[in-house]
Structure 1
Amino acid sequence: MPRNADNEAHWQAIAQRYECEPGPINLENGYFGRMSRAVQAQYLEHISFFNRSNAVHVRQRFEQGENIEIRRQLAGLIDVDPESVAFTRNATEALQSLIRNYNRLQPGDQVLISDLEYDTVKGAMRWLAATRGVEVIEVAHTHPASFDSLVQTYHDAFAQYPRLKLMALT
């Protein structure tokens, strides 16, 4: 067991870094990630900077150097070419961009989504059907899902639909 797992003083010290309203706390960062006071202070400082000098910063410092350095560092961290790194505002925008800009689909190809996908991912795949003539295959998982049942559902789909070219697996 990690040594701090049952250390109440440790967790109280962490909790003190956050402002919280009484009641339930949403720990999922899919909507709005909770920021500690220190992170929130830095965030507000950066927002204030962008409000004061966004044109100078974006058109000069960021476009002509900072984004290249950030991309280089991130690419090094995940061991990929810097040209393969793209910045988006959030995961939904990133997924939609990847799906809509995938350029290896032909009319008659099949794309796969499941009942576990985000609605925006399903929508983007259905957009491919409407604009590119692909067929959307939708699979439903056995619930409650287990690792083995998830793998089996996809295995069966690959066997049943030989023209699958793209699948969402979020």
Structure 2
Amino acid sequence: PLQLYRPPELSESAERRWHAWTAHWVMKSSEDDKAEAAMKKQGVPYIVRKLFLRWRPERKFTINEDGYLELNSKSMLGGWIVLCSAPGTEQIGSYFGYKIRTVMSWEGDTMIAANHVTDPSGTTQITLSKHYIDEDGDLVNSTISDDGEYNCYFKRKQV
């Protein structure tokens, strides 16, 4: 079971606390074969799987006015989805007929987005999207469901 993690008290410098995260991240590699297999098991239509695998995800992390890390995730439609990392934060969205309710939490230094995905038939599955900084200082996004697990690796965008 997931346990909610409260980030360090806001009296600690947010810039220092979140320094490793705050950047614009671009995909460097991904486990497309594992992603394809997991989505196929979930019944995601072929054309949606192909669109997803052609898409080049990006992440931006910023610090909001309350001192929490904010995840900005580039959507397949080109805009940005913004999620506050404060434990318990919820967001509702809809893409290609799928309804998604996301609930944020932390497990140690790993940010977790629990995505409750309801397909057009009304069936709901939970997919965890875990973000963490690896030992090389790169961002890793692990996607985990009952149907499989796959990773996407990001590097800092050079400005």
TM bucket, shorter chain:
under 0.3
Structure scoring higher RCO (CA < 8 A, sep ≥ 6) equals 2
**Structure with the higher helix share, 1 or 2:** 1
Task: Please identify the structure whose Cα radius of gyration is greater.
Answer: 1
**TM-score, normalised relative to structure 1:** 0.22
**Structure with the higher strand share, 1 or 2:** 2
